[in-house]
Structure 1
Amino acid sequence: MSLLDTAKNLIQGQSRYRLEVQGCTDLLDVEHFTGREAASDTYHYQITFTCSAQDLSAQQLLRRNASLTFCAPINNVMGLATQPTVAKRVHGVVTDFRRLSGSADEARYQLVIEPFFALLRHQIRSHRFFINQSIPDVVEQILREHNFKGWEFEFHLEKAYPKREQINQINESDRQFIERLLSEVGIFYRFGLQDDTQTEVLHFTDSQRGYVYDKTLPLNSPSGLSDNHVDSVWGLSLRHQVVESTVFAKDYNHRLAEDTLISAVADMTRGDGEKTNYGDVYHYKGRHLTRGDKIRPETETANFWARLDHERFLARQTLLRGESSAADLTPLLVLNIQDNPLSSTLPAVFKSPILITRLRFTASRDKALTVRFDAVPYTESLCWRPALKPRPVIAGTLMARVTSAKDHDIYAHQNEHGFYWVKFDADRDDKTKGYESMPVRLAKPYAGDTYGMHFPLIQGTEVAIAFHEGDPDRPYIAHALHDSRHPDHVTDKNNTRNVIRTPANNKLRMEDKRGQEHIKLSTEYGGKTQLNLGHLVNAEREQRGDGFELRTDSWGAIRAGKGLLISTQEQEKASEQQLNIDEIKRQLSDALSMAESLSTILETAEVEPLDNQTQETFLHGNITQLQEPVILAGAPGGIAVSTPKHIQHSSNGNQIYTAVGNTEISSLKRMVLFAKKKMVLFAHELGMKLVSAAGKIEIQAQTGEVDIIAQKGLNITSTNDEIIISAKKKITLQSGSSYITIEGSQIEHGTSGDFNVKSSNLQYMDAATLNMPYSQFTACESMASEAAQNGTGTVPLR
């Protein structure tokens, strides 16, 4: 052993505090130090030391592993020094280093030892997003990212913590983020020392089983400079204060909108604090999804939050303080204080175990170690909880894009509730494609029970994500935006147009340019189907009409279940009722009146009158108030129907045509008028013409008679051929009282006056006959016509 090593061992053997830094071979002699430790906080030891090296560099010390060892006093037995006993060892990294002064012999330095976990305060993230993880999962992930080994942290958790849909880190360091998450659910931590490596270990716990037990110290105020090397406590004080009596929590979960999600009133003193505590605390938006059991609530439920919050309040109801010389005191240590049972001066609260929550260490070369501690009463029924760390509040929105699990998806990627997944622009972590966030609701201007307004968002759409009450874990899509990748469809080139257009070019366009106002509703299916209203334009904005146009390149249908009115009757600015048909009713009433007057003429002429009753019933029963599903058409300027092919009219009832003017029917080919029962042609004033320019005119009464009656003359003329009048049985020509009858075998002339024959020649010849052809009617036609004439519904078979 060298002389230097011998000197080091001699000096270190005389000092109760030994400072060592990894890689530093110089002797670091502790002059004095202060330290603080607390539950759910990192320890911090500031150590002033001297060293013969005049220029220790930052590279030698910063971020190096370091340890401060507390040694028990050395007992010399028979003048022989025994090996010092380690009372406490603090391990960590050097986070701060400075040179204070120097002399010819040595220099004074100061450094700070903190656990490696404290360095996480330098890992700052403005945004980070964790998906479908529990709080312990998130904490473990971050620790492993900082190269914590599995044995360097331990979870001793009594409760199971659910996976949250999304947990966001907002403008926080990793340490702040971890401590905030832990405080929210009541998990606290302490540091221990690994036996083999003598390095720090993080212990996370949520119940009393994470405490350190079996420590007892006597109550003994030291006097003079000697404490007989026996650790003790002294200087005990306490403080009681009024805290809140009860807590209850309420929240809203849109997935269970009918559930109020309100907790039971939580009083963790079970009524014992009724006379000392005051105030009921009501928390809304505790971020719970269910109510939870009243007695044993599941974590992150309404009753869990209420009970946890009351435990936080009760943790500061009774605050204890004291001092000690014991170096091995540690946060979350359950300490028993031993007093003289015969003359105890301890208050009752100190006679029971206490839980240490905070420690402050001070010592120097010339002053013994003093440990000041804060504590609370220990109880098995009430667990200590760390203070709630403030949750970041997000003002404004974050930029994100709608995502999909499918590349170039042309349809919206949604869950069964219509929510979307988004990729935050600030998110640097790799996540499953299409599921980079929790399912996010879309805010809409109108919503209801399966009704509202919703335009599906397509992959890549830029959206602004807002947060309910600024809560970073409650995002929703506030609105969608255009960008250079998805430019706006309304710009300075068409800034007079208000346009709703879908990705498939379904469109509602409203033009506001003065004098050219119009609305267009269109779809691309089947070529083009559109409804155009107002000032009609083409693709180049050139006018092509005005009014309205309903058109399609595919099939079209107009269907109205109660009735359909088609009218060109002007109704300026919709000033009258929708179904105002006064003009049409007047027109039809006039037609009915005319038909009734014509019926009178028919009756006078002993012709069967028109069926006016049916027409009147239809007018008043179906049309007047559109009582029945009829199509009613009216046009003051006239109605024209045209087709290059076929027009067909069909009805199971009557077809009535009435015209004040002419009724003209023209056909370039054949025209057929067919009546199964009866046909009447009647002209009242100007007569009737039946003309065939080519071809013959044939009039038949297949089972009946033909009557040709004229009040005046009856002319039968053949201008270029003969006239044949034939009868199979008999012909009678009669005028006044004279007559001629022609039968099959005789001709008879009869008159009461003269019978004159004027002829240049009169011949009498042999008998002769002439057989004329007669039209033959089928038996079916004859019998059917006869049955119809007799009004019978059957035809006899002969």
Structure 2
Amino acid sequence: MSTSDVINRLLNQSRYRLDVLQSPAFLDVLRFEGEEQLSKPFEYIIHVTSTATDLTAEQLVLKPATFTMQAPVFDIAGVAEPVRAVHGVIQHFSRISTSADQTIYRLVLVPRVALLDHTAKCALYLNQSVQEVVEKVLRAHGLEGPDFEFQLSRQYPARELITQWRETDLAFIQRLLAEVGIYWHLEMDTRLEHDVIIFADSQQQYKFGVRLPLRNQAGMSDSGTESVWGLSTQHQVVTQQVSTRDYNYREALSPMDTTASAAGGDETTTGEVYQYAEPFLQSGSEDGVETGAFYARLRHERIMNAQKTVTGHSSCPHLAPGQVLEVDGTLPSVLNEGILLTGIKTYGSRKSRFTAQLTGQPYSETLCFRPVLPERPVIAGTLPARVESTTKGDIYSWLDNQGRYRVKLDFDRDEQEQGYACLWLRMAKPYAGDTYGWHAPLLDGTEVAIAFDSGDCDRPYIAYALHDSAHSDHVTDDNHTRNVLRTPSFNKLRMEDKRSEEHIKLATEFGKTQLNMGHLVDAERAQRGAGFEIRTDEHGVMRAGKGIFVSAEEQLKAQGKVLDMDPALGQIHQANNEMQALSDAAMQATALASDIQKQLSFVDNRLTQLQSAAILASAPMGVALTSGEHLQLAARQNLMVNAGNNADVGVMKNLFIGAGEALSMFVHKQDATLIANQGQVTIQAQNNAMSLTARQTLTITSSDDEIIITTPKKLTLNGGGSYLTLEASKIEHGSSGDMTIKCTNYLVPMVGASKPSDTPKFPIVTMENLTEENGKDFSG
């Protein structure tokens, strides 16, 4: 600063002074206009003159500065006494004009918080209160403890999510504070010489004790007295009450309707404002914080703030927003309690006196000032994000007990712990209900589109999932005719729509278990069959509690009843008729007949339309059962085997046929043959008689050895009435005719002889009475 500038400053008798830190030249105030409002940064537009003709922006912009309003009273050194000092920074600088002896500059002085308007971003704040978020934003801009102060009467709760969306930091904190009814103003710290932000939420934080007389302006002359004049009041009809409603899916059945009024019986109010989707989680009461009633009350207080307004003028430079001005003089009764100053515009120059234009509202103990609520940002459409788990690349989904996900929004630049970048989000689904719906879990890294309820930036949800370059789509131009639902572990439902090759595949990798239907193909899409296939490398079970019908009968185009079994039953009836005929023939031949009535009853009462839990299998051209080892057919009651032509049973080793009671083998027309090619044939009636009867010749032949007939008692041979009996002690021949013996020699040694007639002894066999696990007799 030059010597002439110092002399100019010392001798300056102007009522106003502007000091810019490290300014290279003295700036003499020519005129100024100032505007201050609650919950807004102040702005002073100051025109100055200087002998310096080429001041630069680097010398002034963003420099701390103080605008001082001085009284025309001087100390011994001839320096004017300061009345009020406004501290801030220079935000704007322009060079207006230059004359022979001076240059006019225009500077704009703002508080430091106004610089937040030059930072705009998108950000997320999790589990923090409004106060915590505002403090975090301020500190990010270098504002520390001495630079702001919260004088709050309420404790504000942490919110799950607070979103800053394409807002400047200033607009963001103004919106947050206005939403919960916190207003703020600026005070000057004379010791540290900087501005201080004061945050408040009730009338308790107003500045009281300001009193001025009501009279014509006297200016700031030596003999003048600071005063107020030109007071005017305005009244208008406003809404009588505010009702709110919201929906909180966390408590889906809880009522969320509230109504509040700050009118207090005022008869100049009428009507109702109904606000849907205020950002609250419970209806609560007006005494609660961030409840439905709380927001309804705030909204009505904002409306009531506009019911009665006051304007006027003053010559007092000490007045500031947030003060309650008491005026001495005759006033309307509405102003008896004072005037809350909400805005001030000031003017002054070298040639004109200081003037303040006042805006305010009548002070009320029941009605607090609330900032105007800015529009909440609306996020139209969706935003990209990725699902997150606590483990990178987790092979399983990370969900909470409500089936919600954590995501990392693509716009979020903050570094957070893996899996904790956002709150739990619901996922929209095509189908949902009480413990039912459609939910395919999303894995870490999956791209999702985040939508917002009514565009509300604080109410996100997962709209849908998408494929991307890192997570390729499983349906592309290579398989564009296929509809595929496939999980990360390759559980799959595939539906092929290619004409004449339509098929469905339902498969899991465990045991390669599959259901294939239609045009069956292999991995290279070559046909390997048609129809359907059920296969697995593990166990397979087919279970139906009311019965199973398996049929190879054709049913064209799936036309017909599900249990259309007439062809199968026709075959069974035909077989039963044949069995009835055989059974009747056996009875005529005194053979044991079949239990044909049980077969008929089984068909009519159980198989027909599956009236009982039975299995009916039918094929018009044949059925084959084969086993690499064992094949077992078992029935607790009857086993029925019918064949219209031949029945063949072949056994390469042993064949056992056992009957607990009787065995009957009946041949109607041709031979009955029992042949042992190499082994013996043994026929025994171990504990009863045996009959061999033939209508014609009965032949007993040993082709290469003797025939032995043995009995321990008596053997009788009878032919045509002649007989031969052999007993232990005699032999008797008898005939009514001749007896001829033809032989070369007939020897009678006259000595008795006999051979042993040993015969095997057979025990009486008993069988254990076998039962099933259910206790029923297995034999029926």
1:716-773 C-alpha deviation (Å, 9 max, x unpaired): 2223322222111111222443332211111222333443444444332332211144
For residues 5-24 of structure 1, the aligned pairs below 5 Å read 7-12=7-12, 14-24=13-23
Query: 2:556 aligns to what?
Result: 572
Three-state SS of the structure 2 residue aligned to 1:660 is coil
Query: 1:484 aligns to what?
Result: 469
Q: d(CA) in 1 for partners of 2:736 and 2:427?
A: 112
Query: 1:110 aligns to what?
Result: 106
Structure 1 residue 156 and structure 2 residue 154: aligned? no
Structure 1 residue 509 and structure 2 residue 501: aligned? no
**Post-superposition shift, 1:62?**
0.4
Query: 1:177 aligns to what?
Result: 172
**Post-superposition shift, 1:431?**
1.2
1:267 to 229, 245, 261: 261
RMSD over equivalenced CA pairs, Å: 2.0
Three-state SS of the structure 2 residue aligned to 1:43 is strand
**Post-superposition shift, 1:555?**
2.1
Residue pair 2:36, 2:43 contacting (<8 A) in 1 also: yes
Q: Give the letter for the 2:403 counterpart.
A: G
Query: 2:278 aligns to what?
Result: 286
Q: d(CA) in 2 for partners of 1:2 and 1:257?
A: 74
Query: 1:793 aligns to what?
Result: none
1:592-617 C-alpha deviation (Å, 9 max, x unpaired): 33333322222222223212232233
**Post-superposition shift, 1:19?**
0.8
Residue pair 1:357, 1:376 contacting (<8 A) in 2 also: yes
Give the length in aligned residue pairs: 767
Higher mean displacement: 1-10 or 420-429: 1-10
Cα distance change on mapping 1:618 and 1:641 into 2, 3 Å:
same
Cα distance change on mapping 1:351 and 1:583 into 2, 3 Å:
same
Structure 1 residue 659 and structure 2 residue 643: aligned? yes
Three-state SS of the structure 2 residue aligned to 1:244 is strand
Query: 2:36 aligns to what?
Result: 37
TM-score by length of 1: 0.93
**Post-superposition shift, 1:133?**
1.4
Query: 2:389 aligns to what?
Result: 404
Query: 1:382 aligns to what?
Result: 367
Q: Give the letter for the 1:307 counterpart.
A: R
Gap regions ≥5 residues in structure 2: 769-780
Q: d(CA) in 2 for partners of 1:158 and 1:224?
A: 39
Q: d(CA) in 2 for partners of 1:736 and 1:372?
A: 158
Higher mean displacement: 367-376 or 572-581: 572-581
Query: 1:307 aligns to what?
Result: 297
Structure 1 residue 87 and structure 2 residue 90: aligned? no
Q: d(CA) in 1 for partners of 2:217 and 2:519?
A: 102
1:504-530 C-alpha deviation (Å, 9 max, x unpaired): 11111111222211111111113x221
TM-score by length of 2: 0.95
Q: d(CA) in 2 for partners of 1:30 and 1:83?
A: 16
Higher mean displacement: 22-31 or 352-361: 22-31
Q: d(CA) in 1 for partners of 2:186 and 2:344?
A: 13
1:253 to 237, 248, 251: 248
Q: d(CA) in 1 for partners of 2:139 and 2:220?
A: 48
**Post-superposition shift, 1:225?**
9.2
**Post-superposition shift, 1:25?**
4.3
1:173-210 C-alpha deviation (Å, 9 max, x unpaired): 11111111111111111101124212100111111122
Residue pair 2:32, 2:45 contacting (<8 A) in 1 also: yes
Query: 2:777 aligns to what?
Result: none
Q: d(CA) in 1 for partners of 2:111 and 2:167?
A: 19
Q: Give the letter for the 1:19 counterpart.
A: L
Query: 2:624 aligns to what?
Result: 640
1:550 to 523, 534, 538: 534
**Post-superposition shift, 1:401?**
1.0
Query: 1:72 aligns to what?
Result: 71
Q: d(CA) in 1 for partners of 2:29 and 2:554?
A: 105
Q: d(CA) in 2 for partners of 1:121 and 1:710?
A: 124
Q: Give the letter for the 2:560 counterpart.
A: E
Residue pair 1:194, 1:201 contacting (<8 A) in 2 also: yes
Query: 1:715 aligns to what?
Result: 699
Query: 2:578 aligns to what?
Result: 594
Query: 2:327 aligns to what?
Result: 337
1:101 to 86, 97, 100: 97
Three-state SS of the structure 2 residue aligned to 1:72 is strand
Three-state SS of the structure 2 residue aligned to 1:119 is helix
Residue pair 1:73, 1:229 contacting (<8 A) in 2 also: no
Query: 1:694 aligns to what?
Result: 678
Structure 1 residue 452 and structure 2 residue 437: aligned? yes
Cα distance change on mapping 1:6 and 1:170 into 2, 3 Å:
closer
**Post-superposition shift, 1:81?**
7.7
Q: d(CA) in 2 for partners of 1:418 and 1:225?
A: 70
1:119 to 88, 96, 115: 115
Cα distance change on mapping 1:220 and 1:555 into 2, 3 Å:
same
Q: Give the letter for the 1:279 counterpart.
A: G
Structure 1 residue 395 and structure 2 residue 370: aligned? no
Q: Give the letter for the 2:170 counterpart.
A: R
Residue pair 1:394, 1:471 contacting (<8 A) in 2 also: yes
Q: d(CA) in 1 for partners of 2:767 and 2:381?
A: 90
Residue pair 1:73, 1:84 contacting (<8 A) in 2 also: yes
Q: d(CA) in 2 for partners of 1:607 and 1:376?
A: 121
Cα distance change on mapping 1:195 and 1:226 into 2, 3 Å:
closer
Query: 1:530 aligns to what?
Result: 514
**Post-superposition shift, 1:6?**
6.1
Cα distance change on mapping 1:784 and 1:93 into 2, 3 Å:
closer
Q: d(CA) in 2 for partners of 1:695 and 1:222?
A: 145
**Post-superposition shift, 1:621?**
2.5
Cα distance change on mapping 1:24 and 1:221 into 2, 3 Å:
same
For residues 318-333 of structure 1, the aligned pairs below 5 Å read 318-333=308-323
**Post-superposition shift, 1:66?**
0.7
Structure 1 residue 361 and structure 2 residue 351: aligned? no
Q: Give the letter for the 1:113 counterpart.
A: L
Q: d(CA) in 2 for partners of 1:107 and 1:6?
A: 18
**Post-superposition shift, 1:34?**
0.5
Three-state SS of the structure 1 residue aligned to 2:170 is helix
Cα distance change on mapping 1:407 and 1:222 into 2, 3 Å:
closer
Q: d(CA) in 2 for partners of 1:383 and 1:735?
A: 139
Structure 1 residue 650 and structure 2 residue 642: aligned? no
**Post-superposition shift, 1:2?**
9.6
Structure 1 residue 222 and structure 2 residue 199: aligned? no
Q: d(CA) in 1 for partners of 2:281 and 2:145?
A: 32
